[in-house]
Structure 1
């Protein structure tokens, strides 16, 4: 029974842990990516240090070869002069330098192998990091889109409906106002035109709009003459 209780508690603890991870998956992912980027930066530094050390080793190797060549020349000169002691001293120094030369060659080979391996690991890690960063951006965009879907599917949809209805009423009122203004302009246009025509007629421009007193008297006299 005790073992069952322990197993149950462990199961609940695991479920709680997974639920916590799921709730905080996005910030957890972001921090993990930052940690990975920092470790990759450390790896870049390690590669740079290895390359610098290898370059230094190559310079020391070149110096050793130059010293060996110089001592060999001097040893040959000593032998030519039958200076056996000097030639032996030179030979001892050459033997020591040759040991250093061999060690340097091994070191360079190890550096080259390590640098090649580190560069390959670094390239793979950088590619994985870039893929993770793209995945994070996509996950964030998807999360925001899901939030928008939830908002629209919930109260946000009603808000959109209300906004569309308000916009429809606003457009109706604007259309009505435009119609009224147009009608008023049409109603006002003939009166303005008539006023202008009357002014022109009174100024003697074109036919008069109504008969004058002289016109009436002339018409009456004509009727009188006709009756006589």
Structure 2
């Protein structure tokens, strides 16, 4: 008997909770839409920050290229005058800058992928937000119409609208979680292989990823004409 009473009380509590949710579905939906709009605005800011950081990286990359070109020109001149010691110092600096150049190019590539992904997510979220906003306006209009003519609309239509809106909100949250998880997994996967490749190259397996000072010096010497 006690078990039956407990089940009955839980059933009534559930019915009361559902009835409360049905009566307040429209204001609840409106607040959730406002929260979603704020989240999308925050995502837009994240995209803007990523774009700004990428532009800064591009500027640093251009500076590195200019320094490499300047050092190569000066080192070549030093070799032409027979000052190999000074040319070697320049070659070491060039090798260091070339490593910085390669790292900058990799960073720009990662920025580009992340920015494209963020833009895609924001666009999709904005489209869904607009659909929800249209749905909210329709729900409010339907609610007002039902208040004016309850005998025509009936309580069943309101319950059906609320159930569909609840399902739509659930799907929106699940899809956002899936997109976030997928983006994190892809970014993690893009980083790990690069680290393994660098370790293998440093250990002497496969071609080196960065040029050494000797490589740069040999390249510069080849530019010096035999007549000089």
TM-score normalised by length of structure 1 = 0.62
State the partner residue of 1:123: 123
Over 3 Å counting, the alpha-carbon distance change for 1:89 and 1:14 in structure 2 is farther
Counterpart Cα distance in 2 of 1:33 and 1:15 = 26
Confirm whether residue 27 of structure 1 aligns to residue 56 of structure 2: no
Counterpart Cα distance in 1 of 2:5 and 2:77 = 91
State the partner residue of 1:36: 36
Structure number with greater Rg is 1
State the partner residue of 1:147: 147
User: How far is 1:3 from its partner?
Assistant: 7.1
Structure 1 stretches of 5 or more lacking a match?
154-228
User: How far is 1:85 from its partner?
Assistant: 1.6
Counterpart Cα distance in 1 of 2:91 and 2:7 = 77
Over 3 Å counting, the alpha-carbon distance change for 1:151 and 1:104 in structure 2 is same
User: How far is 1:19 from its partner?
Assistant: 2.1
State the partner residue of 2:97: 97
**1:47-196 to 2 correspondence within 5 Å?**
47-150=47-150
User: How far is 1:152 from its partner?
Assistant: 9.4
State the partner residue of 1:165: none
Question: Can you list the C-alpha shifts for 1:97-136, whole angstroms capped at 9, x where unaligned?
Answer: 1111111001100000000000010000000000000110
Structure 2 stretches of 5 or more lacking a match?
154-228
Counterpart Cα distance in 2 of 1:37 and 1:16 = 30
Over 3 Å counting, the alpha-carbon distance change for 1:114 and 1:7 in structure 2 is farther
Counterpart Cα distance in 2 of 1:41 and 1:11 = 41
Counterpart Cα distance in 1 of 2:9 and 2:74 = 83
Question: Can you list the C-alpha shifts for 1:161-217, whole angstroms capped at 9, x where unaligned?
Answer: xxxxxxxxxxxxxxxxxxxxxxxxxxxxxxxxxxxxxxxxxxxxxxxxxxxxxxxxx
TM-score normalised by length of structure 2 = 0.62
User: How far is 1:8 from its partner?
Assistant: 5.5
Over 3 Å counting, the alpha-carbon distance change for 1:78 and 1:148 in structure 2 is same
**Alignment RMSD (CA, Å):** 2.3
Higher relative CO (Cα under 8 Å, sequence separation at least 6) belongs to: 2
Counterpart Cα distance in 2 of 1:117 and 1:50 = 11
User: How far is 1:9 from its partner?
Assistant: 5.2
User: How many pairs does the alignment contain?
Assistant: 153
